[in-house]
C-alpha cells in the first residue's frame, strides 16, 4: 500500500523541524502504548465509537489500553497529529499487536470473523 505524503524534498528546510515536531508528544505517547500493549484504543470524549469498541472488547474479556484525547471541541489540533501519522481519518484508532486495524466497526468485523482471536494467539 502506498500513501501519498509530501516528499521532504518539497518542504523548505526552514520548516522541516516545525513539521517533524508538530505535537510529537501525542504521537510518542501512542507509539509507547502500542509498543507495550496488545490492544490500544485511541479515542476522544463524546464520540460513541470508542465506547462501542471498548464495550466489544469488554464483552470478549480482552484487556486493552485506552487513551483519550479531548472531545469534539478540544484537542483537535493534537489529534490531527495522530491522523497525519497514521493516515486514519477518524476515531477510534485501534491497534492490535502493533498494527492499526481501523475503527470500531473494523474491530467488530475482526471479532466476528475470529481474526482478532487468531491475531492475539487465542482460540476462536
Report, as an integer, the average pLDDT of 78-103.
97
Q: What domains does the chain contain, in order, with CATH numbers?
A: 8-120 (3.40.30.10)
- The burial of 115, by beta-carbon neighbours within 10 Å (0-12 exposed, 13-18 middle, 19 or more buried), is given as middle
Q: Considering only CA atoms, give the Rg of the chain.
A: 16
Three cell numbers at 9?
A: 524534498
Distance CA 52, CA 6 (A): 34
Judged by average pLDDT, the poorest of 3-7, 10-14, 52-56 is 3-7
Give the per-residue pLDDT at 1. Answer: 77
Distances in Å between the Cα of 55 and the Cα atoms of 13, 28, 35, 37, 62 are 46, 26, 23, 18, 10
- Reported as a single tens digit per residue, the pLDDT across 95-106 is 999 999 999 999
pLDDT band at residue 123, thresholds of 50, 70 and 90?
Answer: low
Amino acid at each position: 500500500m502506498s500513501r501519498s505524503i509530501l516528499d521532504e524534498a518539497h518542504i523548505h528546510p526552514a520548516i522541516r523541524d516545525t513539521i517533524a515536531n508538530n505535537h510529537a508528544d501525542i504521537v510518542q505517547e501512542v507509539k509507547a502504548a502500542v509498543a507495550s500493549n496488545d490492544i490500544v484504543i485511541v479515542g476522544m470524549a463524546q464520540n460513541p465509537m470508542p465506547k462501542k469498541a471498548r464495550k466489544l472488547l469488554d464483552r470478549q474479556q480482552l484487556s486493552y489500553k485506552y487513551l483519550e484525547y479531548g472531545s469534539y471541541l478540544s484537542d483537535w489540533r493534537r489529534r490531527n497529529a495522530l491522523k497525519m501519522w497514521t493516515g486514519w481519518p477518524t476515531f477510534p484508532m485501534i491497534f492490535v499487536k502493533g498494527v492499526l486495524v481501523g475503527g470500531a466497526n473494523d474491530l467488530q468485523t475482526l471479532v466476528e470473523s475470529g481474526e482478532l482471536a487468531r491475531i492475539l494467539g487465542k482460540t476462536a
